[in-house]
């Protein structure tokens, strides 16, 4: 089945996109062009291509403001800022990973060159700071700190992700921490930054952040599964690309550390110095499954989603906001988002 | 003559370096290692090599706090943050420019790889935000905004610098604006951010910012001259490297737009598609001189320094702070800094 984009996500995109476009319009011409392409608003020649991506993170930020009783409109700059940090990280990750494809299109660095992609990423992360700090209220400063600290974790997680490609002895705990930093930290920030900007009480902020962190881990687990068994037409990435670059994703590390014969065979394959042909990659995928990595990741994703739901249940917020947050969590951890 | 490092610069380094080291120590292991190397604290293997660079920008920030009557110690996080943004920009610039040498040592990307250098730059610019926002006073938020806006101009300036390498029709005004963004904006921020963080009145902040902007332009002019005629052992860069990469620096653009026969010959040389051999680069340098680009840049640097001095004279601050600021301005625009 194909999951349907929740209404709250499309509604948030309608609210946030004008703020994003205005902000990107302040950048120098080159970075604005790269950003418009990367965000899906323009083609390589700068011609308008309509709306951008799903804007999941802004939707979570808007809902987190509403959870605190504020109007979603009040937190649009912080919602846009989270999306800008996400866009920055993808721009730089694609350069570092050498990934030629992003969301079914050539990655920005393949179109504009490495330097332009690096610069545009720099410009977007800086723009995020500008947006959040437009108001100098104490709540805004706390929101800025939340975003900066999530950005720092995201960078650290990407660093370890790259390092793990060259290491054979990554533990499941290291891998989990890497995913918590690389993916879950910014989602946790998205789920709490609207509430922070709205001056919400600490217990609500903490519950929302925990909901986001658990949802983020579930999302990463599903993303890792899709990176091996997803259909390229759905993921927008070449088949088996994570295994090709020897990424130590969660299901792969679960398999490698399973103590099973399949796990040991997998370790032997991934230790080969030469590029791995398609046939070996398919065999590697089967070994991850056989060693229990696939089943473990599926179960673990479910556990994380359950934990996210519990955090949400404990938090004091309007019932319809809780339902909408939960709908997004299920949406982004569905197999065909 | 070799200019002697002003006392205020070494004093500021003693104050700021512990703050910088503590901050960098918070980063993930990989970025911390790259940053320690890039900042001159460690060699490629991570062995301590003593103190880092001159820390001119922190010195200016400390003096700007003192200009506002505050103790220099009060503004150490913002002083360190300016240095972190500077370090970020050099890390990324070297990757984009493909510059193999920085401060007489192999550039960080040649030692740790592009990805590690990009990530470390990302980590440092984010760390700068963390440091400035550690206090949520309105003055700190204004300081953060000043830094974020200078960072955005620096990124835009670097983008145009790269773009200009491939353009033959750069005007002197475009080139001046590029230098104002790429170099002068962060120096202007350094010269005013301490005062901003100390809650100084607007006229003092404005005067200090203007002093920094003019000093920054003078510095860039001198740096451009050194990029052509400086001794490699003093500049730490290969001889004629700016001409080799066809950088449209201020003296080059002054020559190209001079309407002289030498300027036209220079334009012809720089338009050649093939890499330029040493002999052609030496001829290009002579043509910049002959077309008046060298003399213009020398005079212009003097004018900018005079303007900087005037802004300082108009500002209300302790006489010894004014003298120390001026000493740094003369130091960084001397030929052998």
What number of other Cβ atoms are within 10 A of residue A160's Cβ? 22
Q: If contacts are CB pairs under 8 Å, which of residues 8-37 in chain A contact chain B?
A: 27-28, 30-31
> Are B148 and A130 inside 8 Å of each other by CB?
yes
Quick check: B33 and B42 in contact, CB under 8 A?
yes
Residue with tokens 């938090």, as numbered in its chain: A315
How far apart are the C-alpha atoms of B73 and B8, rounded to whole Å?
13
Q: How confident is the model at residue A151 (pLDDT cuts 50, 70, 90)?
A: very high
First-to-last alpha carbon distance for chain A, in angstroms, is 10
Q: Retrieve residue A242's tokens.
A: 């994570």
Asked if the structure places residue A337 within a domain, the reply is no
As beta bridge partners, residue B103 has none
A139 touches chain B (CB under 8 A): no
Size (chain B), residues = 337
Verify whether the Cβ–Cβ distance A119 to B95 is below 8 Å. no
pLDDT at B1: 42
Q: Which two tokens stand for residue B211?
A: 């002093």
**Structural domain harbouring A82:** 7-332
* Residue B246 belongs to some domain of the structure: yes
Question: In the structure encoding, which two tokens stand for residue A218, read together?
Answer: 């579930």
- Please indicate whether, in this complex, the C-beta atoms of A163 and B114 are within 8 angstroms of each other: no
Would the CA dihedral through B138, B143, B144, B150 be positive or negative? positive
The yes-or-no verdict on residue A235 having pLDDT over 90 is no
What digits encode the pLDDT tens for the residues B155-195? Answer: 999 999 989 988 889 999 999 999 999 999 999 999 999 99
Decide: A152 and B127 in contact? Cβ < 8 Å. Answer: yes
Q: What is the pLDDT of residues A301-334, one digit of tens each?
A: 999 999 999 999 999 999 999 999 999 999 999 8
Q: Which of B91, B108, B136 to mutate to test the interface with A (most CBs of A within 10 A)?
A: B136
Residue with tokens 């690389």: A182
The pLDDT value recorded for residue A336 is: 60
Structure tokens at B25: 């120590």
Taking residue B4's Cβ as centre, other Cβ atoms within 10 Å add up to 10
Tell me if B1 is assigned to some domain: no
Rounded to the nearest angstrom, the minimum Cα separation between A88 and chain B is: 10
Report the alpha-carbon distance of residue A115 to residue A113 in Å, rounded.
6
Classify residue B94: in a domain, yes or no: yes
The predicted model gives A290-307 an average pLDDT of 97
Task: Give residues 42 to 101 of A whose Cβ lies within 8 Å of B.
Answer: 92, 95-96
Write the residue in B92, B126, B159 that is nearest to A31 by C-beta: B159
CA distance linking residue A221 with residue A215, whole number of Å: 10
Nearest Cβ partner of A115 from B125, B160, B162?
B162
Report yes or no: B127 at the A interface, CB cutoff 8 Å. yes
Instruction: Give SS3 for B272.
Output: coil
Indicate whether A158 belongs to any domain: yes
Which CATH number belongs to the domain containing residue A120 in this structure? 1.10.600.10
Mutate one of A99, A122, A245 to test the B interface: name it (highest B CB count within 10 A).
A122
Tokens linked to A133? 């700090």
Q: How far apart are CA A129 and CA A120, in angstroms?
A: 14
Contact list in B for residue A119 (CB cut-off 8 A) is 92, 96, 155, 158-159, 162
Nearest CA in chain A to B135: A141
The stretch A62-77 carries a mean pLDDT of 94
Does residue A197 sit in helix, strand or coil?
helix
B266 in helix, strand or coil?
helix
Pull the structure tokens for residue B318: 């302790």
Cα B41–Cα B144–Cα B24 angle in degrees, nearest 5: 20
pLDDT at A43 over 50: yes
Structure tokens at A272: 């080969």
* A192, A212 Cβ separation under 8 angstroms: yes
For residues A189 and A184, give the distance between their C-alpha atoms in angstroms, rounded to a whole number: 8
- Rounded CA-CA distance A269/A253 in Å is 14
User: What is the Cα–Cα distance from A247 to B206, expressed in whole angstroms?
Assistant: 51
pLDDT-based confidence at residue A241 (cuts at 50, 70, 90): confident
The span from the CA of B150 to the CA of A126, in Å, is 10
Q: How many residue contacts between A and B have a Cβ separation below 8 Å?
A: 121
Nearest CA-CA partner of A265 in A235, A298, A287, A250: A287
**A283-309 mean pLDDT:** 97
List helix spans (H) across chain A.
7-24, 29-38, 56-67, 76-97, 108-112, 114-132, 138-165, 172-179, 185-197, 202-229, 232-235, 241-244, 250-256, 261-270, 278-290, 293-314, 319-332
Residue A245 distance to chain B (closest CA, Å): 15
B118–A96: do the CB atoms touch at under 8 Å?
A: yes
Give whole-number Cα distances, B230 to A121, A145, B337, in Å. 33, 43, 11
Can you tell me whether residue A179 is helix, strand or coil? helix
Structure tokens at A108: 């920005």
Structure tokens at B286: 């002579």
Q: Which residues on A lie below 8 Å from B28 (Cβ)?
A: 155-156, 159-160
How many structural domains does chain A have?
1
Closest Cβ opposite residue B126 in set A28, A152, A158: A152
| Distances, alpha carbon B261 to alpha carbons A216, B53, B175, B257, B292, in Å | 64, 42, 21, 11, 11
Does residue A119 belong to the interface with chain B, where contact is any CB pair within 8 Å?
A: yes
Residue A335 has a pLDDT of 66
Residues B215/B308, Cβ–Cβ less than 8 Å? yes
The pLDDT value recorded for residue B335 is 66
Does the distance separating the beta carbons of A126 and B148 come in below 8 Å?
yes
The minimum CA-CA distance between A102 and chain B, rounded to whole Å, is 18
DSSP 3-state percent helix, strand, coil across chain B (nearest 5): 75, 0, 25
Residue B172 within a domain: yes
Judged by average pLDDT, the poorest of A2-6, A72-76, B8-12 is: A2-6
Residues in A closer than 8 angstroms to B96, CB to CB, are 114-115, 118-119
Residue A176 at interface with chain B, using a CB cutoff of 8 Å: no
pLDDT class of A1 with cuts at 50, 70, 90: very low
Residue B96 lies in a domain: yes
Average pLDDT, chain A: 93
Per-residue pLDDT tens digits of chain B, which is 337 residues long: 457 889 999 999 999 999 999 999 999 999 999 999 999 999 999 899 877 778 899 999 999 999 999 998 889 999 999 999 999 999 999 999 888 888 889 999 999 999 999 999 999 999 999 999 998 788 999 999 999 999 999 999 999 998 998 888 999 999 999 999 999 999 999 999 999 999 999 999 999 999 999 999 999 999 999 989 988 777 777 778 889 888 899 999 999 999 999 999 999 999 888 888 989 999 999 999 999 999 999 999 999 999 999 999 999 999 999 999 999 999 999 866 4
Helices (H), B7-113: 7-25, 29-38, 56-67, 76-97, 108-112
Check: CB of residue A240 under 8 Å from CB of residue A282: yes
- Which residues in chain A are closer than 8 Å to B165, comparing Cβ atoms? none
Contacts of A30 (CB under 8 A, 6+ apart): A112, A116, A119, A120, B159, B160, B163
Spatial separation of the C-alpha atoms in residues A131 and A150, rounded to whole Å: 16
A30 vs chain B: nearest CA distance in angstroms? 7
Is the Cβ–Cβ distance between A160 and A45 less than 8 Å?
Answer: no
- CA angle (A154 as vertex; B120, A129 as ends), nearest 5: 80
Question: What is d(CA A311, CA B48) in angstroms, rounded to the nearest whole number?
Answer: 46
In this predicted structure, what is the pLDDT of residue A257? 96
Cβ contact A126–B152 (<8 Å) = yes
Question: Between B126, B133, B142, which is nearest A151 by CB?
Answer: B126
Q: Report CB contact under 8 Å: B145, A126.
A: no
CA–CA dist A262, A290 (Å, integer): 6
Least CB–CB distance from B142: residue in A122, A136, A140: A136
Alpha-carbon distance A25 to nearest alpha carbon in chain B (angstroms): 13
Establish if B178 touches chain A: CB-CB under 8 angstroms.
Answer: no
- Quick one: pLDDT band at residue A192, thresholds 50, 70, 90? very high
Contact A62, A79 (CB under 8 A): yes
A1 part of a folded domain:
no
């Amino acid at each position: 089945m194909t999951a349907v984009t929740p209404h709250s996500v499309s509604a948030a995109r309608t609210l946030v996109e004008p703020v994003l476009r205005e902000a990107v319009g302040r950048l120098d011409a080159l970075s604005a062009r790269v950003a418009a392409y990367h965000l899906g608003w323009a083609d390589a020649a700068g011609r308008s291509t309509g709306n951008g991506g799903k804007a999941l993170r802004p939707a979570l930020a808007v809902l987190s403001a509403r959870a605190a009783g504020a109007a979603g409109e009040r937190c649009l700059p912080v919602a846009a800022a989270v999306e800008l940090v996400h866009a920055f990280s993808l721009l730089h990750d694609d350069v570092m990973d050498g990934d030629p494809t992003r969301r079914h299109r050539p990655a920005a660095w393949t179109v504009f060159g490495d330097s332009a992609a690096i610069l545009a990423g720099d410009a977007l992360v800086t723009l995020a700071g500008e947006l959040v700090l437009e108001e100098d209220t104490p709540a805004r400063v706390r929101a800025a700190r939340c975003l900066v600290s999530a950005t720092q974790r995201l960078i650290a997680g990407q660093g370890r992700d790259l390092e793990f490609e060259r290491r054979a002895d990554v533990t499941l705990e290291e891998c989990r921490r890497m995913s918590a930093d690389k993916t879950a930290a910014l989602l946790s920030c998205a789920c709490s930054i609207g509430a922070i900007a709205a001056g919400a009480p600490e217990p609500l902020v903490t519950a929302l952040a925990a909901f986001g962190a658990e949802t983020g881990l579930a999302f990463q687990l599903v993303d890792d599964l899709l990176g091996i068994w997803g259909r390229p037409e759905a993921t927008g990435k070449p088949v088996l690309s994570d295994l090709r670059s020897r990424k130590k994703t969660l299901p792969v590390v679960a398999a490698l550390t399973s103590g099973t014969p399949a796990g040991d065979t997998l370790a032997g394959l991934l230790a080969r110095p030469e590029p791995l042909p398609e046939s070996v990659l398919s065999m590697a995928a089967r070994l991850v499954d056989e060693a229990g990595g696939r089943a473990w990741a599926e179960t673990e994703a479910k556990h994380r989603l359950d934990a996210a739901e519990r955090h949400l249940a404990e938090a004091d917020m309007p019932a319809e906001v809780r339902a909408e947050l939960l709908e997004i969590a299920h949406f982004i951890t569905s197999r065909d988002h």
